[in-house]
Structure 1
Amino acid sequence: MTDRIKKFFQKKKVDAKFKLAGPGHKLSESTLSSQSSNQSRKDAPIKRMGLSEESKVAAEAALSRLSQRRENPAFNTSLAAIQAQVKKELENEKANETASASKSSTTEERKEIEMDLPKNFAASGVYFKCPLISNDILPRDEWKRNIKTFLYEQLEQERGLTACLMIQSCNSNREKIDTCVETLCKYLENIITYPEEEKYQKIRMSNRAFRERVQPLEGAMELLQAAGFVQEKLTNAEGVEEEFLVFHADNVPSVESLTTLIDGLRTAEPIQLELDRNLQVLLPSQAANKVQLPPSFYALSPEEIKREQQLRAEAIERSQMLRTKAMREKDEIREMRKYKFAIIRVRFPDGILLQGTFSVYERYNEIHEFVQENLEHDLPFVLNTPTGHKLIIEEDANKTLIDLRLVPATVLTFAWHSSVAEQIHNSPNKDVYLKPEVMVLVQEIPTTPELLRKLTLSASSSDY
């Protein structure tokens, strides 16, 4: 079943690439004719409709605002500032249309604060990848919507397998998912075991177990349809008509297909998301300004964390003299478990910082590989914690970020391993650390001769 799921996603990827390849041509068609037809399509004038009255008014207003800003020499014309300003204006206009006059000023102040906060955030958020579906990098909530849409689009082609994936991927409560799977498997196993028993071929939809365990979950009804069940109105023992799901053997190829569905229900896993590192390269001044963590890094809401921290601080003050080292370490670990993700920065000897986002339960080996894949030279190195502890891959590879006390954010210092220190010292490119394609990610690079020299060295350096 696992191989079947992999083939399912591979086929979807091939189909997507095929659709993007453009129009096809007949084998008997000459190259010249196809080129001429393509040229005629390119040369054909594109008909555009005129602007509507609303669009004209919006365009005039935009031009008016733009002309006013050009007269203002202090206006920041950087792309980020323009995007933020446009977003703020759109949100303010929408708020003015939908909110009453008494609440509009409060809404605008709140939105201005929200627009200002991200400037101090170490990361704009937490982002994920899903290679099985596409190469997009999106927040978790957006990926959940995309996965749900993707699976619903596949129902007509692979209803049974898709329904199994929907149950696992489109529902959040793990306990309810397991209960639903076991209930569905029981329905199908009864049909296989007792093919002549009519009572096992009908499910009363008003049944409490069905309404609580099966019906509310995404994909459950689709799975029953794939298993041959059809919704019908039947007369019950009291002579009253009510809704039933009735099994029809003609709706499935064979009884063996029900066994395949049971196997799919018990072996299918949720479509997994991969945490994107959100790679950033920062100058020391930028790293000093970007110190706040966004709300998506917390396992609790910021308000809950502040309240709990306040209560804990008061308790510590009362019992500070009685607390042992073990008790303090226990509280420290409990504090770190409030976070789901951590910011790891690696400072190089030239002052440049490499930043990545990690889950608090990832292991040090992931950090080591992250740094290694961005280095210009594949040579041994060590990372030092702020307390001076050397992180050695042989000893710390399987320790989590919580075990190493690297949560919620920390700066590790990079150093070449002692075995290659002399080799690096004698190299003409000893000041080059990161790959050229990584160095170009430095934000707002100042045009200082020293930094330009390092970028030039990075671009022209060769492997040792």
Structure 2
Amino acid sequence: MSKIKRFFSKKKEEAAFKLKLGGGMGEGHKLNAPKPEAASSSSGSSSRRGRGEVYVPPQRNEISNEARAAAAAALSRIEKKDSRDFNTSLAAVKAQAKRELEAERREKEQLSSAASANSQSSSSSTAGDNKLLACQGVYFRCPLIGEEVLSKQAWKIKIKEFLYQQLEMDRGLTACLIIQNCNPKEKADDCITTLLKYLENLQQHPEEEKFCKIRMSNKIFSDKVRYVEGALDVLQAAGFSELELDNEPYLLWTQEQLEPGLELAGLIEALKNAEPIQLELDRNIKVLLPSQARRVILPDDFYRISPEEIKREQQLRAEAIESSQMLKTKAMRDREEQRNLRMYRYTLIRVKFPNGLYIQGTFNVYEKIADIFEFVQSCLADETLEFNLVSTSDGKFSEEDLDKTLYDCKLIPNILLLFTVPAIPAPVAADVNFLKEELLMLVQSM
């Protein structure tokens, strides 16, 4: 029998089975038709029971309210999961990424906890040292330019700005000052020596062509003049102008281009006599209470060399002493002391008055003892008062000591001097205020 015949034969058998099953279940009726009579119903039911018991499903207990709530919650979760949109998924991805980055960050923090602890301790100690500094730095004045009190680096910038502002009004003389103040000393000295040679040759032989032009590619000119601040301005004021000859840059001199009112002799003299603009050291006066005159910690500006070099030198010296384990001779101690003194450029002087107040000032190590007396005298309410300054180590200064430098007297890097008045007994002086009233306003707040 072919597959097709078998297929239709099977369908016929299934149809006959359904027909036989349907006939035993009674006739059907329309939904809107009247219900059949009870007799027919009873006969029908009896006939069905006659053929066999009809399966009656067992009655189930009603589900509890808790079960209904759990089912509703599960259904809600399924519906919510199926109804997620793109924005929610993106937020979930971002949240997960954030959690992973946070976990990675915590892991890195745990790995570098020791290093970060060391860094924090060093930074906190540095901040503490800054609070304990006896002064915040070394400051200067420049009466030629202004009355501001600034650091040396700030004054270098201000002086440079001031000179370039004056350049158009007086190019020759201002350019000489720019060379001295805006370049390293060695570079400025080499430049001035070369410029003097150019200008003196031109002054002595103005008609010789070789002295009237300068080849800018010349090695000496390039190394010592061309790239020095102010040098080309000096040559411009002297009458030189730039032009190109044979495809090479030259400076060519003519008498007509000389700056009005300026002569070569005057410019040569200005080059010889120009000096760096001098700054005056500001005393940076402070008035301290006894409780504020703590151990002196000096800022880096007081040293000639960098703090790193100081620490390295001290470490090497300590290692050398430890390795040698030998007694030092007086000559060895003197050499080491001189080496220590040369580390400092400035010194901090504190003067203690009988009433317990201190005044503090900054001095150059090469200033004289007399400068300290003048400083103290300028702070007194009665500047005619005769007083003495007594060193806690060397006693009272003599007349011969007044001309000695602080370096000679080894008052470096800081020293405490006692203020005494021969005419006033010590118990009485303890109740006297010797300072000017305006200085009392400088008392440092705690």
Question: Conserved in 2, the CA contact under 8 Å of 1:192 and 1:255?
Answer: no
Paired position in structure 1 for 2:440: 439
CA displacement at 1:317 relative to structure 2: 3.9
Letter in 2 for 1:402: Y
Paired position in structure 2 for 1:356: 361
Paired position in structure 2 for 1:380: 386
CA displacement at 1:117 relative to structure 2: 3.1
Distance 1:155 1:341, change over 3 A: same
SS of the equivalent of 1:217 reads coil
Of residues 263, 272, 280 in structure 2, which corresponds to 1:257?
263
Task: Encode CA deviations 1:108-161: one digit per residue, 9 max, x unaligned.
Answer: 988766544321100111101000000000000010000000000001111011
Unpaired segments ≥5 residues, structure 1: 1-102, 236-240, 446-464
Question: Conserved in 1, the CA contact under 8 Å of 2:346 and 2:365?
Answer: yes
CA displacement at 1:224 relative to structure 2: 0.8
Paired position in structure 2 for 1:275: 281
Question: Conserved in 2, the CA contact under 8 Å of 1:281 and 1:353?
Answer: yes
Q: What is the distance in 1 between the residues matched to 2:360 and 2:261?
A: 55
Residue 337 (1) aligns with residue 349 (2):
no
Identity %: 50
CA displacement at 1:171 relative to structure 2: 1.4
Task: Encode CA deviations 1:368-389: one digit per residue, 9 max, x unaligned.
Answer: 1111110122222111212142
Of residues 141, 148, 157 in structure 1, which corresponds to 2:153?
141
Q: What is the distance in 1 between the residues matched to 2:278 and 2:420?
A: 35
Paired position in structure 2 for 1:228: 239
**Worse-matched range after superposition: 323-332 or 149-158:** 323-332
Paired position in structure 2 for 1:155: 167
Letter in 1 for 2:212: Q
Task: Encode CA deviations 1:231-275: one digit per residue, 9 max, x unaligned.
Answer: 11111xxxxx11111112111168970110000000111110011
Question: Conserved in 1, the CA contact under 8 Å of 2:283 and 2:361?
Answer: yes
Unpaired segments ≥5 residues, structure 2: 1-114
Residue 176 (1) aligns with residue 187 (2):
yes
Q: What is the distance in 1 between the residues matched to 2:240 and 2:404?
A: 50
Question: Conserved in 2, the CA contact under 8 Å of 1:333 and 1:402?
Answer: no
Distance 1:264 1:423, change over 3 A: same
Paired position in structure 2 for 1:167: 179
Larger C-alpha radius of gyration, 1 or 2? 2
CA RMSD of aligned residues (A): 2.6
Letter in 2 for 1:329: D
Q: What is the distance in 2 between the residues matched to 1:228 and 1:112?
A: 60
Q: What is the distance in 1 between the residues matched to 2:200 and 2:354?
A: 65
Paired position in structure 1 for 2:88: none
Instruction: Name the TM-score, length of structure 2 as normaliser.
Output: 0.69
Question: Conserved in 2, the CA contact under 8 Å of 1:424 and 1:430?
Answer: no
Letter in 1 for 2:177: L
Q: What is the distance in 2 between the residues matched to 1:408 and 1:137?
A: 22
Instruction: Name the TM-score, length of structure 1 as normaliser.
Output: 0.67
SS of the equivalent of 2:226 reads coil
Q: What is the distance in 2 between the residues matched to 1:250 and 1:106?
A: 70
Of residues 367, 375, 382 in structure 2, which corresponds to 1:370?
375
Q: Report matched runs for 1:291-302 at 5 Å.
A: 291-302=296-307
Distance 1:315 1:369, change over 3 A: same
Of residues 120, 131, 148 in structure 1, which corresponds to 2:143?
131
Count of matched residue positions in the alignment of Structure 1 and Structure 2: 331
